[in-house]
Amino acid sequence: MHGAWPYVKVLSTGLESIRTPVICRDFGNPQWPASMETAKLTQGNCREVSIMSVETRHIRAEHDLERSLIRWIMKRVGNPRISIRLWNGDEFWVTEARPVACMEFCERRTVFELLRSPSVGFGECYSSGLIEIHGDFLAFANEITLAIARQKDGRYYDQKIRSMLYAIRSNTPARSWRNVHHHYDLGNEFYKLWLDERMVYTCAYFDKPAASLAQAQVAKLEHVCRKLKLRPGQKVIEAGCGWGSLALHMAEHYGVNVVAYNNSSEQVAFANEKAAAMGLDNQVKFIEDDYRNIDGRCDAFVSVGMLEHVGLANFRKLGELIKRSLKPDGIGLIHSIGRSHPQRMDPWIVKHIFPGGHIPSLGEMMAVFEPQQFSILDVENLRPHYARTCAMWLENFEAVADDVAQTYGEAFARMWRLYLAGSSAAFQSGTLQLYQVLFAPRGSSNVPWTREYQYLREPETH
């Protein structure tokens, strides 16, 4: 290269140091310095030039700061076995272990969204496309959730206090209606895309290892009915009935009369249409109303998947309602997502998925039963069943994700992918549990001596 140089040519290799030719006053041939620090000319007709420009130093300083911030965020969430890819293509591993997936920060501002709130920031950045996950999405969710769970080990009292403070706010009837409308009134057509044919939106029961989702949901309905020891002619009150699958199953297969309450107008309309089509509208009555307005007496009280929406501040009121409704020789069952220890709800879930929700520990659930002196007959944990249920929902959802995105928007589809994968991961890691609590009024003699009646055959090994 020779001739006059109108400018200093910069050769860039990413964010590494840049070698720059020395420029002479007479614009003669450029001379490459031997050192990367500075270029010094021994002749008096040339000047000293700094190798790295102020701008380049600034870029590198920013890059180092952002990488340090990302590592701090990853440490805060337990150093998961993933790799990080930056907006400029640079990639690094969080730990020395081989990554299970790669999380890409598509823009620089993603770092500061995660600093503001790791939970809300991550959820919103993924939904909007500022974060991309490369690799198996469920494996990524499992790894992140397990890392966070390990990070929180040994912080029992801190998490219990946070749970209590979060639960102070009570879900009034008006607030409960808004919360239910936010999640369950998205449109029946949306849920039809990925739920089973009965529209069961709670934990399935895989009594057979090779059971399909539809088969496992029917097995769950049967499992609940057997626990309640239902007999023809009995009256059952159901609080929070979803699309009516359990109420219709109880009426059709056990000959009971059911009054079911639900705040979701779309779900109640669907359930009433289904009851009429099945010829069960004379046995099942679906009422669009808050659970606090339940009236009448019953032989069995059941609630599947509603307690999570009640709110800890209302647990005692729910217990009073059940005591008022249940006959002295009656029996009740509450099926609810739970925790092994108190913990506040995930902020992103509260903001975007289940506003007003609270996932109780088993100890917190006792606020429903102990003040009313109910006898606890049986507690079963179906945690692995819910992990598999959510994984199957995710698989179904992925098959129709393009349709969901076309109808509801790409951000909505990504939000629900994250919700379903995160839920499966939470049950897989033990962050969430699934409790079925069977109970009866104090002193009732109509209680089983063993659990044998709950199972029609020997359980198979999974």
Question: Tens digit of pLDDT for each residue in 387-407?
Answer: 999 999 999 999 999 999 999
| Matching residue, tokens 């808050």 | 290
Average pLDDT, the chain: 86
Distances (CA, A) of 88 to 14, 203, 431: 9, 42, 35
The two three-digit tokens of residue 230, written as one number:
């239902």
Distances (CA, A) of 342 to 32, 179, 359, 432: 66, 22, 8, 11
d(CA 432, CA 336): 10
Predicted pLDDT of residue 9: 32
More confident residue, 430 or 17: 430
Q: Tell me which residue of 338, 311, 331 sits closest to 169, measured CA to CA.
A: 311
Contact by Cβ (8 Å): 447, 439: no
Confidence of residue 457 (pLDDT cuts 50, 70, 90): low
**Segment 240-253 mean pLDDT:** 97
**Which range among 142-156, 223-237, 332-346 shows the weakest confidence by mean pLDDT?**
142-156
Predicted pLDDT of residue 183: 84
**Segment 217-228 mean pLDDT:** 97
Predicted pLDDT of residue 153: 75
d(CA 436, CA 15): 57
* pLDDT tops 60 at residue 462: no
Question: Looking at the chain, which residues constitute the CATH 3.40.50.150 domain(s)?
Answer: 157-454
Superfamily in which the 157-454 domain is placed by CATH:
Vaccinia Virus protein VP39 (3.40.50.150)
Distances (CA, A) of 300 to 225, 328, 383, 444: 10, 11, 25, 13
- Report the run of H or E that residue 319 belongs to, with start and end: helix 315-325
Predicted pLDDT of residue 7: 31
Question: Looking at the chain, which residues constitute the CATH 3.30.1050 domain(s)?
Answer: 56-151
**Which range among 164-168, 295-299, 341-345, 410-414 shows the weakest confidence by mean pLDDT?**
164-168
Name the amino acid, one letter, at 314: N
- What burial class does residue 206 get, using C-beta atoms within 10 Å of its C-beta: 0-12 exposed, 13-18 middle, 19+ buried? buried
Q: Tell me which residue of 422, 418, 387 sits closest to 404, measured CA to CA.
A: 418
More confident residue, 148 or 6: 148
Contact by Cβ (8 Å): 280, 252: yes
Q: What is the CATH number of domain 56-151?
A: 3.30.1050
**Segment 372-396 mean pLDDT:** 97
Question: Tens digit of pLDDT for each residue in 273-297?
Answer: 999 999 999 999 999 999 999 999 9
Question: Tens digit of pLDDT for each residue in 165-193?
Answer: 777 777 788 878 787 788 887 889 999 99
d(CA 417, CA 399): 11
More confident residue, 25 or 391: 391
Confidence of residue 449 (pLDDT cuts 50, 70, 90): confident
Predicted pLDDT of residue 12: 35
Predicted pLDDT of residue 175: 79
d(CA 203, CA 421): 15
- List the alpha helices (DSSP H) in 231-314: 245-254, 265-278, 307-310
Predicted pLDDT of residue 172: 81
* pLDDT tops 60 at residue 94: yes
d(CA 381, CA 433): 7
Q: SS3 of 156, please?
A: helix
